[in-house]
A and B are shown apart, each in its own frame.
Chain A
Amino acid sequence: MAAIPQTTPTPPGVPEREKAATAKSSSLWLDAFSRLIRSKTSFIGLLIILLLLVVAAMAPVVATHDPTDQQLLDRYLAPSGDHWLGTDELGRDIYSRIVYGTRISIQIGLIAVGISAVIGILLGGIAGYFGRWVDQVIMRVIDILMAFPSILLAIALVAVLGASLTNAMIAIGIVGVPQFARIVRSTVLSVKETEYIEAARAIGAKNNRILFQHVLPNCLAPIIVQATLSIGTAILDAAGLSFLGLGAQPPSPEWGAMLSDGRAALQTAPWVVAFPGLAIFLVVLGFNLFGDGLRDALDPRLKQ
């Protein structure tokens, strides 16, 4: 939902030859990495993301109960020693559901952003590299996609495709395409004017080879930044869709769906709503903090 306004970092001019490329790119990425961990906020972001990954990987160990186990006698229990974050309307342990929900969130983030990135990079790369009518046609299609508020287009797509987590991920992936396409296109436009591309063309390299081997790899920095920030947005949007009943379906411990389930008992059992929301907030914050730091670290203009 929230797109953070961003400046596109200028792509690094990395020489084409592999040896030289390794030497220079390692210094660029190393340099970026050292700046990244020196920034307190992006370090916190990284910690949150690592925590999320660990919890997801170790869910059966970290969870205290079975996330789908219903104990109808224990409905709406307040947080306690046995149920750390309380129980929901079916007596399920909220803490354990949130723990298992991390897996769904990571899945949503990676798949949805993967869809956006693959399609966006292809379209943006082709538009920027070939220019002329190809560029015109692709960018007009992108304009049309951008004429819809993204969450609304996602809602409409899921509404017709059918409510499910898979369709929600596809829809969020599609509405995220324009951002990748535009960033890649503008980066490609500047990269293709560089001397090493001219050199590649001079030795007779084919368009495909130039685009995929030389141009696109040099657009990586802004793509990585956009992907990191998009993961947060994708998780947020997917939670929104699930909240509306258009994403994950019961009994899936998806955070947005859990929040929606808890709505009815907001007056008596606010924890059913409060904790899944906090989980969404924390994870999205992690990706935003890290993405922000990444953008600064990869921006050569900010180099000291």
Chain B
Amino acid sequence: MLKYILRRLVMLIPVLLGVSILTFSLIHLIPGDPARSMLGEKSTESQLEQLREELGLNDPYVVQYGRFVGKILQGDLGESVKSQEEISIEIASRLPATVELTVFAMILAMVVGILAGVIAAVKQYSWFDNLSMSGALFGVSLPIFWLGLMMIWLFSVKLNILPASGRISNDIELHTITNFYLLDSLLTGNWAAFKDVFSHLLMPGIALGTIPMAIIARMTRSSMLEVMKQDYIRTASAKGLARHLIVFQHALKNAFLPVLTVIGLQFGLLLGGAVLTETIFSWPGIGRYVYLAVMGRDYPVVQSSILIIAVIFVLVNLITDVLYKYFDPRISYD
């Protein structure tokens, strides 16, 4: 197993190298002068030259790329052109918000998706099956930004029961430990904060989780249907095992593998979807950071944020693969 993980890590090197080349190239894809594009038309030649010097745009590409990678390896992601702040610090302070939102959305998607998929498969062609699978088809077709805005209109504007933006209300005190607010409120036993943070998470979590929820439900259903046809399920029911034991202990365990792949893949995609969701709900995470940087033409920020998200995406996929082999010992490690 360890050998397999190590091998996979080594195999990551060319991918990460490619990812770094692609993100590095982004700034050079800008039509015309990148410095002028960042500072605007009114900038003076000396300002432009200063920025070119700062970003090292005057050097040959190879030198620039070497410096880019060298800095990253030392944990230096550069500085924002607009605020001059260090990008690594900015990303580190925003990452917990995004991770908290994506994990929350994923848990929501998994619980609802797997449960709906299992029930739909066990009661194939029932009204529940039809309803949940139609719901799943609707779910993958929904524009999440629209869903988000409609929820804000209904729950914040009309009913006034959920907050429309942010992570926590201004009047709520929370002592942060991990910067995952939900976890922090639990750790400090701060129930008022827990309730407040949860209510802030709910709408963006649903908006972000809808698509993976639909995909997980569909995948669980088809995978369960396949497994329920197997001989060992017939054996289990022939020997008189309780239905719920057969479904959850025997069938779901075996049906879970394809679902796991989908979960891994979707988790990474959520990081992309977070740009839209965080923009709508003014969620102070890395997605909104990317959006604001794109709008402000702060290309070093765009570059570094995208690199970090890609690295997380690649790692999540690696973890999924490792878990996959762990859950299915039949798969050889070669």
Interface: A219 (CB within 8 A): no
Give me the interface of A with B, judged by CB distance under 8 Å.
1-5, 41, 140-141, 143-145, 147-153, 155-157, 159-162, 232, 236, 239-240, 243-246, 256, 259, 263, 266-267, 270, 273-274, 276-278, 280-281, 284-285, 288-289, 292
* B309 and A149 within 8 A (CB): yes
* B149 and A144 within 8 A (CB): no
CB contacts (< 8 Å) of A147 on chain B: these are 15-16, 18-19, 310, 313-314
* B146 and A277 within 8 A (CB): yes
* A162 and B31 within 8 A (CB): yes
CB contacts (< 8 Å) of A148 on chain B: these are 19, 22, 272, 306, 309-310, 313
Query: B101-128 interface mask toward A, CB cutoff 8 Å, 1 = contact, 0 = none?
Result: 0000000000000000000000000000
Nearest CB of chain A from residue B158's CB, rounded to whole Å: 9
* B157 and A266 within 8 A (CB): yes
Q: Main SS of chain A's interface residues?
A: helix
Query: Which of A149, A240, A259 is within 8 Å of B268, CB to CB?
Result: A149
* A244 and B215 within 8 A (CB): no
Question: Would A273 and B30 be within 8 Å (CB), given that A149-B268, A152-B290, A267-B157 are in contact?
Answer: no
* A244 and B291 within 8 A (CB): yes
CB contacts (< 8 Å) of A274 on chain B: these are 150, 153
Question: Would A152 and B309 be within 8 Å (CB), given that A1-B269, A243-B145 are in contact?
Answer: yes
* A244 and B150 within 8 A (CB): no
CB contacts (< 8 Å) of A246 on chain B: these are 294
Question: Would A156 and B306 be within 8 Å (CB), given that A149-B313, A240-B276 are in contact?
Answer: yes
CB contacts (< 8 Å) of B22 on chain A: these are 144-145, 148
CB contacts (< 8 Å) of B19 on chain A: these are 144, 147-148
CB contacts (< 8 Å) of A288 on chain B: these are 137, 140-141
Bound form: Cα–Cα A292–B146 in Å? 24
Q: Which of under 10, 10 to 19, 20 to 34, or 35 or more describes the interface residues of B?
A: 35 or more
Bound form: Cα–Cα A171–B258 in Å? 30
Interface: B279 (CB within 8 A): yes
- B126-173 contacts to A (CB < 8 Å): 137-138, 140-147, 149-150, 152-153, 157
Query: Which of A5, A157, A160 is within 8 Å of B299, CB to CB?
Result: A160
Question: Would A1 and B275 be within 8 Å (CB), given that A259-B146, A266-B157, A277-B150 are in contact?
Answer: no
CB contacts (< 8 Å) of A41 on chain B: these are 137
Bound form: Cα–Cα A285–B139 in Å? 9
For the complex of A and B, the 6 pairs showing the least CB-CB separation, nearest first, are A149-B272, A277-B146, A144-B18, A285-B141, A152-B272, A284-B141
CB contacts (< 8 Å) of A151 on chain B: these are 269, 272-273, 275-276
CB contacts (< 8 Å) of B258 on chain A: these are 5
* B214 and A2 within 8 A (CB): yes
Nearest CB of chain B from residue A186's CB, rounded to whole Å: 16
CB contacts (< 8 Å) of A159 on chain B: these are 26, 294, 297, 299, 302
Interface: B81 (CB within 8 A): no
Query: Which of A140, A144, A240 is within 8 Å of B145, CB to CB?
Result: A240
* B143 and A143 within 8 A (CB): no
Bound form: Cα–Cα A245–B279 in Å? 12
CB contacts (< 8 Å) of B18 on chain A: these are 140-141, 143-144, 147
CB contacts (< 8 Å) of B313 on chain A: these are 147-149
* B146 and A273 within 8 A (CB): yes
Give me the interface of B with A, judged by CB distance under 8 Å.
14-16, 18-19, 21-23, 26-27, 29-31, 137-138, 140-147, 149-150, 152-153, 157, 211, 214-215, 218-219, 258, 262, 265, 268-273, 275-276, 279, 290-291, 294-295, 297, 299, 302, 306, 309-310, 313-314
Q: Main SS of chain B's interface residues?
A: helix
CB contacts (< 8 Å) of A259 on chain B: these are 143, 145-146, 149
Bound form: Cα–Cα A276–B18 in Å? 39
When C-beta atoms are compared, the residue in chain B nearest to A288 turns out to be B141
Bound form: Cα–Cα A240–B291 in Å? 12
CB contacts (< 8 Å) of B290 on chain A: these are 152, 155
Bound form: Cα–Cα A92–B136 in Å? 34
Q: List 25 A-B contacts (CB under 8 A).
A: A1-B269, A2-B140, A2-B141, A2-B215, A4-B140, A4-B218, A144-B19, A144-B22, A149-B268, A149-B272, A150-B269, A151-B276, A152-B271, A152-B272, A156-B302, A159-B26, A236-B143, A239-B145, A256-B143, A256-B145, A280-B143, A281-B141, A281-B146, A284-B141, A289-B137
CB contacts (< 8 Å) of A155 on chain B: these are 275, 290-291, 294
Bound form: Cα–Cα A162–B299 in Å? 12
When C-beta atoms are compared, the residue in chain B nearest to A233 turns out to be B140
Bound form: Cα–Cα A5–B297 in Å? 35
CB contacts (< 8 Å) of A150 on chain B: these are 269, 272
When C-beta atoms are compared, the residue in chain B nearest to A140 turns out to be B14
Bound form: Cα–Cα A150–B31 in Å? 22
When C-beta atoms are compared, the residue in chain B nearest to A280 turns out to be B143
Nearest CB of chain B from residue A2's CB, rounded to whole Å: 4
CB contacts (< 8 Å) of B29 on chain A: these are 157, 160-161
Nearest CB of chain A from residue B213's CB, rounded to whole Å: 11
Bound form: Cα–Cα A232–B26 in Å? 27
CB contacts (< 8 Å) of A284 on chain B: these are 141-143
Nearest CB of chain A from residue B260's CB, rounded to whole Å: 12
Bound form: Cα–Cα A147–B31 in Å? 25
When C-beta atoms are compared, the residue in chain A nearest to B311 turns out to be A147
CB contacts (< 8 Å) of A276 on chain B: these are 146
Query: Which of B30, B137, B218, B265 is within 8 Å of A160, CB to CB?
Result: B30
Given A144-B22, A256-B143, A274-B150, 11 additional A-B pairs, CB 8 A: A2-B140, A3-B215, A156-B294, A156-B306, A159-B294, A159-B302, A160-B26, A245-B295, A281-B142, A284-B141, A288-B140
